Amino acid sequence: MTVEASYRPDHRTAEPKQFLHFIGGRFVSGGDCFANINPATGGIIGQVHAGGRTEVDAAVAAAKAALAGPWGKMTVAERSMLLHKVAAEITRRFEDFVEAEMADTGQPRSVMEHAFIPRGAENFGIFADLVKNVPTESFMTPTPDGAGALNYAIRVPKGVIGVICPWNAPLLLMTWKVAPALACGNTVVVKPSEETPATATLLAEVCAAVGIPDGVYNVVHGRGAGSAGEYLTTHSDVAAITFTGETTTGATIMRAAAYRIRDVSFELGGKNAGVVFADCDFDAAVDGIARATFINCGQVCLGTERVYVQRPIFERFVAALKARAEALTVGMPGDRTTTLGPLINHEHREKVLRYYKLALADGATVVTGGGIPQLPEELSGGSWIQPTIWTDLPGDSAVLREEIFGPCCHIAPFDSEDEAVTRANDTEYGLGTTIWTRDLARAHRVASRIEVGIAWVNSWFLRDLRTAFGGSKQSGIGREGGVHSLEFYTELRNICVKL
Ligand SMILES: NC(=O)c1ccc[n+]([C@@H]2O[C@H](COP(=O)([O-])OP(=O)(O)OC[C@H]3O[C@@H](n4cnc5c(N)ncnc54)[C@H](O)[C@@H]3O)[C@@H](O)[C@H]2O)c1
Ligand SMILES: O=C/C=C/C=C(\O)C(=O)O
């Protein structure tokens, strides 16, 4: 492991970039390197250092030491002020973050500017405020001598938190964990996805610039099994693990967490249903479902891959969504006319294309798409795919049961409210749903009957960061957001004082 004097990735120059680990406040190299590929072009962005046990051990040791340093002695108000500075510095370097994440994910500038990068800053702001304002409980307890006892609770940090992140919204999903963890006084070791190392690295620069003490925020790059991810989740000094990613990876990490009984918070996969009633605001519903299906090239855990539309508007809805899919424009991510990005890599495109083939084999009618688009020369090395809509699939098709994580959906007609609820619930997953109707009583009824962590009515991905966020069934364990994050990132210690 070599310590580098300084490191500053400039994502706007052509010089080769190195994605280094950030351990104890310094950028360090270590481990074999692998290429970070731009999914829009297939070009190489830079080399990522894949951390092994040595780097993970060093990062966890630095994080543990930092708990006993200045960080551990700060008041809540001081920590909160520092986290507001992190938010301000992300905002000041907004364009660096946009460029870095566009290169890593290939997604359009508009998605970065309006959704993903602002949320990086907001995540810090919201938890910096929240942590100052949440009371704990207290009870007066009677005792035989009549004097009584006072019970009160304090929140203490859990310690070193292992943060394992996916590639689909790298900064948003990482800061959704790092910000509350730090607000509560923990230290973190982040293992970003091997596909998207850039913004976790940039956040290290931000933390250093605003004076987050060394060792509080650490990054170890690398892969999952047999690499940094596995070594971090099995490390005995990691007090708790927060993970967003695939359900099967969650199961592996849960087994790792059983060693020394560590707490886990999991946000996992989804196979979310959209339910559109005939009385909806038609244009708004088409808009909402188009966003839920195609944004980020369908690589959103909350995205809608199953759409149920009430029969009277079924044909009209299918035609309108088809028009929306066909109006999407592929192009360089930085181009303001681009509205559809690529999939994250060629391997994922192979997976999605297997579902496109399977849909045909299972008897689907392809309303639009189903293959790879015609591309200009500059994009020919990228992992592009056509947005796709199917109808007529049988309910037991794997296309309707497994998470595809691509820009595609199946639309089926339904007749009654009960039927819509039954079909929406006919899945092992339970992350989110989006319901479209003007009948508010029905909206409340249906929203409470669909088995999910979050039900949106006449909207999708409308987030209030104070609310509980997470999945039921195979879509996760626990809730984060607002005070729910504080529950996960602290231990509640009860103190009983005999008076
Ligand atoms: N519920 C949510 O909020 C939410 C949000 C975003 C994404 N997701 C899900 O994430 C998935 C897409 O992301 P992905 O493909 O990066 O997921 P993934 O599970 O393949 O990888 C996620 C992270 O886990 C690491 N990892 C893999 N194997 C590991 C192991 N054995 N031990 C420790 N770490 C390991 C990876 O290196 C990566 O950093 C989809 O299933 C999507 O639904 C869920
Ligand atoms: O792709 C998944 C998006 C998840 C979103 C959040 O975790 C969030 O909005 O906090």
Per domain, the residue ranges of the chain are: 2-268+475-498, 272-464
pLDDT value at position 112? 97
**pLDDT (mean) for 185-192:** 98
Which one of 53, 168, 189, 247 would you pick to mutate in the ligand 1 pocket, going by the greatest count of ligand atoms within 8 A of its CB? 168
pLDDT tops 90 at residue 11: no
- Ligand 1 centre to CA of 246 (Å) is 4
Across the chain, what does the average pLDDT equal? 96
| Residues designated catalytic | 267
Ligand 2 proximity of 300 Cβ (cutoff 6 Å): yes
pLDDT in tens, 264-296: 999 999 999 999 999 999 999 999 999 999 999
- Ligand 2 centre to CA of 65 (Å) is 31
Ligand 2 proximity of 173 Cβ (cutoff 6 Å): yes
pLDDT tops 70 at residue 2: no
Q: How far is CA 87 from the centre of its chain?
A: 18
pLDDT value at position 12? 47
Q: Whose CA is nearest to atom 9 of ligand 2?
A: 463
Domain 2-268+475-498, CATH number (from 3.40.30.10, 3.90.420.10, 3.40.50.720, 3.40.605.10): 3.40.605.10
- Ligand 1 centre to CA of 204 (Å) is 21
Which ligand sits closest to the CA of 343? 1
pLDDT value at position 462? 98
C-beta atoms surrounding 263 within 10 Å: 16
H/E element, 123: helix 117-133
Structurally, at CATH architecture level, domain 272-464 sits in: 3-Layer(aba) Sandwich (3.40)
Pair 169, 300: CB distance under 8 Å: yes
Q: Complex ipTM, two decimals?
A: 0.94
**pLDDT (mean) for 80-101:** 98
pLDDT in tens, 467-497: 999 999 999 999 999 999 999 999 999 999 9
Which ligand sits closest to the CA of 267? 1
Give 7's pLDDT tier (boundaries 50, 70, 90).
Answer: very low
Q: Whose CA is nearest to atom 10 of ligand 2?
A: 176
pLDDT in tens, 118-144: 999 999 999 999 999 999 999 999 999
Which ligand sits closest to the CA of 226? 1
pLDDT in tens, 196-218: 999 999 999 999 999 999 999 99
DSSP 8-class letter at 448: H
Strands 149-157 and 408-414 turn out to be unpaired
C-beta atoms surrounding 464 within 10 Å: 9
CA torsion angle for 297, 15, 59, 477 (degrees, to 10)?
0
pLDDT value at position 4? 56
- Kindly report whether the global pTM for this prediction surpasses the value 0.90: yes
Which one of 267, 291, 405, 459 would you pick to mutate in the ligand 2 pocket, going by the greatest count of ligand atoms within 8 A of its CB? 267
pLDDT tops 50 at residue 422: yes
